[in-house]
Chain A
Amino acid sequence: MPTVDIASSPLRELNSALHKLTPNTNETHWTVSNPRGQHNIAVGLDFPVEIEIDGHVGYYCAGMNKQARVTVRGNAGQGVAENMMSGRVHVTGDASQAAGASGNGGLLVIDGNASARCGISMKGIDIVVKGSVGHLSAFMAQAGKLVVLGDAGEALGDSIYEAQLFVRGTVTSLGADCIEKPLKDEHKVELKKLLDDAGVEGVSPDEFKRYGSARKLYHFHIDNVGSY
């Protein structure tokens, strides 16, 4: 099991080594120590490898991840798991803004809170935030599911497309074209699976409200101009 101390070796070496992994490798479990808030750790992975990062990370950790399972034992800076395609990214602390931005797939789990614009432009990623999310989360969210066990800030789901939002706590305000929708049995099944995948115990899907698109802004009409 390789252990890389990136306080003493360049980030380039770590990312390069992770990019060069081949299907025959035995090095499927890596530990990264002393990240000390460095940016761009473990970006662009495309291999079913397990990465554990012991400490806080800077911007774009696990950016564009495919297949890999990345755990950050600490807080994550801006854009954690941005544009993720598949795999799983788990932050045990809090995440800064734009967590999971434009993600296409995979699962992002944040044990703490996520800041503003969590899930902005999400395109199929699933995000579970065990704390609360900041303003403009799921802005222009296209596809995927955002689950928030705490509260959501202002303008949740502004200009949302077909992503589904589940919030257990309060929502300060909904953004343009985002409305509360019925939580049907099929949604509860999906939600339960996501909660299980994220390791959430003792929380029932019945405790959530579901939000999504009113689809009134899909076609421009002058009478809706006040919504923009």
Chain B
Amino acid sequence: MSAQDRWIHTPPRKSATFDDAAIAEIRRAAATGIYDIRGAGAKRKLPHFDDLLFLGASISRYPLEGYREKCATDVVIGARFAKKPIHLKIPITIAGMSFGALSGPAKEALGRGASSVGTSTTTGDGGMTPEERGHSDLLVYQVLPSRYGMNPDDLRKADAIEVVVGQGAKPGGGGMLLGQKITERVAGMRRLPVGIDQRSACRHPDWTGPDDLEIKIQELREITDWQIPIYVKVGASRPYYDIALAVKSGADAIVLDGMQGGTAATQDVFIENVGLPTMCAIPPAVKALQDLGMHRKVQLIVSGGIRNGADVAKCLALGADAVAIGTAALIALGDNDPALEAEYQKLGTTAGAYDDWHEGRDPAGITTQDPVLAARLDPVIAGRKLANYLSVMTLEAQTIARACGKSHVHNLEPEDLVALTMESAAMARVPLAGTNWIPGSNI
């Protein structure tokens, strides 16, 4: 190429708007005529807990001695109305994930891991399996719009009930389980034809709005004789009002799921474009509880992109009572393990990016109903990995809490936090680091 040509032809420049991913998606849509369906949560860069820092102790605050001075982590959930509230040893629970979306061994592993460290697991769309009940000391039973597998016997076997209004990955959307995973057992539990593409309802069949929800919750309490707590789960969209309405409706606890929260399967366009990031949803939720005098009386469980003990501590400092993990728990079991890279390559992906959970071909044996693949997951070993991970997260959260001088992780508070960016300062409602400025606080 001559010097003149170099000046005539500018170097190739890719569009920031039409980047590789956008172009690939246009081409994929044109070729297939179907929107992209996938599992997991939002993958785009979002304001998240990494944008927050703890201040730690200094002259004006004194820390607790690591390993020597106690920093408690227990949580009681559901004491507002339930005769038998749930006592968790750690403030980290396992989020709702269905048998159907997950294999039997994966559900068993979740139960084993959670139970060994004193926390709860949660059913999902499709009902409760005996294996799941048997391996979970504390099991939360979801009441979903589809009502797949819903029955009063399992309701009474549960340790808590979770009325699912929405999910962070798809607030306003219903569940989805494609034909590959609707095996005879899954179809039987859901009363569906084998092998169909199942799309669940997005609204409950017998109630709409907070006034109805109040009556529905009363019905569930009557059926279970007011024994067990009733949670309400919402996707993060209008948290101040949703949390206030859930409290008004009589919830014992509220699960607030941000858009980084995973799903078994839904449209990519939904996952990436609907809902609020987890971090910015917590302050308005806590404000609603405080305005109603219900903070710490109605427990707030936050989920969506929780990865480590620092994320847990930050959620608690912002006012949550506990967190729930889904995607992270699957990774702890062995999802997206680099040891399976060759098999991920065959599926056209790579370890760390595999999200076609709906196709049921998970080489880790977790998001599948294929008996051969599912048999790869040893529920005892995977359960132990999950227990290890939950213990590490708890220790990490305690480490931070002690450094901030707290004898209980619940004593963490917004005052312990600063933000690294203006947007995270505005969203988390804590000062920009090195200043006392909370953007929007004077409005």
B32: chain A residues at CB < 8 Å are 222
B192: chain A residues at CB < 8 Å are 142, 161
A83: chain B residues at CB < 8 Å are 147, 150-152
Whether B34 and A121, one on each chain, are in contact in the complex, defined by CB atoms closer than 8 angstroms, is no
Whether B219 and A40, one on each chain, are in contact in the complex, defined by CB atoms closer than 8 angstroms, is yes
Listed stretches A12-20, A22-30, A147-155, A192-200; interface member: A12-20
The interface bits of chain A over 97-118 (1 if a CB of B lies within 8 angstroms of the residue's CB, else 0) are: 0100110100000000000010
User: How far apart are the CA atoms of A120 and B207 in the complex, in Å?
Assistant: 12
Tally the A-B contacts, defined by beta carbons under 8 Å. Answer: 99
Within 8 A of A (CB), among B27-50: 32-34
Question: Smallest distance from the beta carbon of B177 to chain A beta carbons, Å?
Answer: 12
User: How far apart are the CA atoms of A58 and B219 in the complex, in Å?
Assistant: 11
B352: chain A residues at CB < 8 Å are none
User: How far apart are the CA atoms of A175 and B248 in the complex, in Å?
Assistant: 36
Whether B197 and A218, one on each chain, are in contact in the complex, defined by CB atoms closer than 8 angstroms, is yes
The reply on A35 being an interface residue by CB < 8 A is: no
B212: chain A residues at CB < 8 Å are 59, 78
Listed stretches B80-88, B223-231, B237-245, B315-323; interface member: B223-231
Whether A44 and B150, one on each chain, are in contact in the complex, defined by CB atoms closer than 8 angstroms, is no
Question: Smallest distance from the beta carbon of B203 to chain A beta carbons, Å?
Answer: 10
Question: Smallest distance from the beta carbon of A13 to chain B beta carbons, Å?
Answer: 11
Grouping DSSP codes into helix (H, G, I), strand (E, B) and loop, the A interface class, with mixed when no group exceeds half, is loop
B53: chain A residues at CB < 8 Å are none
The reply on A127 being an interface residue by CB < 8 A is: no
The reply on A205 being an interface residue by CB < 8 A is: no
User: How far apart are the CA atoms of A66 and B192 in the complex, in Å?
Assistant: 22
Within 8 A of B (CB), among A101-147: 101-102, 104, 117, 120-121, 123-124, 139-140, 142-143
Whether A162 and B193, one on each chain, are in contact in the complex, defined by CB atoms closer than 8 angstroms, is yes
Specify the chain B residue showing the minimal Cβ separation from A123.
B191
The reply on B73 being an interface residue by CB < 8 A is: no
User: How far apart are the CA atoms of A102 and B190 in the complex, in Å?
Assistant: 11
Most buried by A among B34, B150, B222: B222
Whether B152 and A64, one on each chain, are in contact in the complex, defined by CB atoms closer than 8 angstroms, is yes
Q: A39-B215, A40-B215 are in contact. Are A82 and B206 (CB under 8 A)?
A: yes
Within 8 A of A (CB), among B310-361: none
User: How far apart are the CA atoms of A188 and B122 in the complex, in Å?
Assistant: 44
The reply on B300 being an interface residue by CB < 8 A is: no
Within 8 A of A (CB), among B385-407: none
Whether B151 and A218, one on each chain, are in contact in the complex, defined by CB atoms closer than 8 angstroms, is no
The reply on B72 being an interface residue by CB < 8 A is: no
A104: chain B residues at CB < 8 Å are 151, 191
Interchain residue pairs with CB less than 8 A apart (13): A44-B223, A59-B215, A60-B219, A63-B223, A64-B155, A66-B152, A82-B205, A85-B151, A120-B206, A124-B191, A218-B196, A219-B197, A220-B34
Interface residues of chain B, those whose CB is within 8 Å of chain A, are: 32-34, 146-147, 150-153, 155, 179, 190-193, 196-197, 199, 201, 205-207, 212, 215-216, 218-219, 222-226
Across the A-B interface, give the 4 residue pairs with the lowest CB-CB distance, nearest first. A44-B223, A222-B33, A79-B206, A102-B147
